[in-house]
Structure 1
Amino acid sequence: IHARLQLTGRGARGKKRGHKKHLFGCLFVTSSAEVKCSLCVVGIQALAEMNRWREVLSWVLQYYHVPEHLPPKVLELCILLYSKVREPQVMLEVGSSWLRDQTNKSLPEYGSLLELYLLHVLLPLGQFEGAEELVRGCDVFDSEQQLAFLGTICESRCQWTQREEMHSAAEEQQDAATETVLGRLSLCSLRSMSSHFCLLPYKKMLLATFLLYLVVVRLDPEENSCF
């Protein structure tokens, strides 16, 4: 695939002379672009099957150099791939650059790719303001479509907020449970230490009495004679 892509690129850069040659050159360039795109699609699928999806974007950009030049089909596959492996942030800047390009805005696939970018990149990443700006600034969608997309964004924002609140509540409960366990352990430790210190005077008193007894017995001759 790599060798064929290089040959395709060289052929597309070849110069043609004359009217017929110019027409043939245009057809050849178009055909070369289609072949190049098809080979990239096959390459993306092969890398994904080999679990080398991390290399896909850099591999594709070796042949198209900048995100704006990616064919719609290649961009679509990249968005879907990185969304499936839960790494949509990889396509955040790439998709944004492609959608801002004026040439790409005239393509028939622009609307579907914008929708794909919204649903699989911006919304999963919580980029709600950017999504709203993109929809409002898009001339491809009519007012009804814009309202529908804005409604989807609003719903996704609400779900995101609910998940954040649930996550925060779960963390607070976990922290409270941890504090309770630590408090119980501290209380048990304090009780154990308190009982230990309470026993110390009693032990000292017994020891002092025993020592006193030994001194009296050993120093008093009358007591010794009794024995």
Structure 2
Amino acid sequence: MRGEPPAWAPGPAQAAALLEEAADLLVLHRDFAAAVERCEAGCDSLGPGPGPGPGESFAEVKCSLCVVGIQALAEMNRWREVLSWVLQYYHVPEHLPPKVLELCILLYSEVREPQAMLEAGGSWLRAHANQRLPELGSLLELYVAQVLLPLGRFEGAEELVRGCAALDGERQLALLGTVCESRRRWARREETLGSSAAEEQQDPAAETVLGMLSQKLLTMLTLLRRALRSMSNHFYLLPYKKMLLATFLLYLVVVRLDPASPTSLPFIYKLVQLFRQAWAAVLSPIHRPPIRD
């Protein structure tokens, strides 16, 4: 676009014609790239200027060309280029027309990139040449609401509001109240985010403890299962004859013999000893139940 020289003769008449053509391309034909090209050609036809001022006859046409160009760039989702694009025609932020500055602030606020206008807007508002412009107060309010407050620059906002002579007492107090309320909301949001972050940090700790307990329980259950399996395998491997002998001796002691007969006592005593030996052979010492005389 800008690499080729414009095909139109320079001058305010040609710039006005290019402005009309760019507006038609933007609104009627929706040809945004062509609209930007016409705006660039129109600004180039006006030549470099010191910036907007009372003695500059081309200021209104140049400003309108930039407004159409900004809208066309935004339509093409090239909003990141907007500030640098207008600065190539006005060179420094302090020379931007109020309408162009307002449109840039609104655009970058809409796309949630207010930091892009932080330095440029502050420079414009503090410039000595702009202090007597009638748009100063409204632009300061817009800059505070759309740039400084969303970025949490509360001290800078208060300083800027108190130092602005374009705001009367009522507007100044109202704007300072807005800054104070925004500061309170910011603090509450930070506190809420801090509490949420603390809860998120506690939750992984609790999950870690529960995980350790679950792992210990799983380990204990695994060991118990292995012990039961080992015991069952041990009983399955016991010799059949030893089991039969233990059962027969128990039958003799309990059923066949009369414990009340005196003649049976020595025999019972020997049988008990024999039973103990058989029982010791059947069960291991760890799992042997207690036997009382």
TM-score, normalised with respect to structure 2: 0.61
The equivalent residue for 2:71 is 45
Superposition pairs for residues 28-177 of structure 1, below 5 Å?
30-177=56-203
Structure 2 unaligned spans of 5+ = 1-38, 240-293
CA deviation string 1:80-136 (max 9, x = no partner): 000011110110001011111000111111111101000000011110000000011
The equivalent residue for 1:196 is 222
Aligned residues: 199
For residues 149 and 158 of structure 1, the distance between their equivalents in structure 2, rounded to whole angstroms, comes to: 14
For residues 100 and 134 of structure 1, the distance between their equivalents in structure 2, rounded to whole angstroms, comes to: 9
For residues 183 and 51 of structure 1, the distance between their equivalents in structure 2, rounded to whole angstroms, comes to: 50
* Identity over aligned pairs, percent: 58
* Structure with greater contact order relative to length (CA < 8 Å, sep ≥ 6): 1
Structure 1 unaligned spans of 5+ = 14-25, 214-227
The equivalent residue for 1:20 is none
Which amino acid in structure 2 is aligned with residue 85 of structure 1?
Answer: V
Q: Which has the higher helix share?
A: 1
Are the equivalent residues in 2 in contact too, given 1:9–1:32 (CA < 8 A)?
A: no
The equivalent residue for 1:219 is none
- 1:9 matched to 2:35? The reply is no
The secondary structure found in structure 2 opposite 1:30 is coil
CA deviation string 1:27-84 (max 9, x = no partner): 9x63312111100000000011111111111111111111111110000000000001
Which amino acid in structure 1 is aligned with residue 92 of structure 2?
Answer: V
The equivalent residue for 1:19 is none
Which amino acid in structure 2 is aligned with residue 52 of structure 1?
Answer: R
The secondary structure found in structure 2 opposite 1:134 is helix
TM-score, normalised with respect to structure 1: 0.78
For residues 60 and 135 of structure 1, the distance between their equivalents in structure 2, rounded to whole angstroms, comes to: 27
CA RMSD of aligned residues (A): 2.5
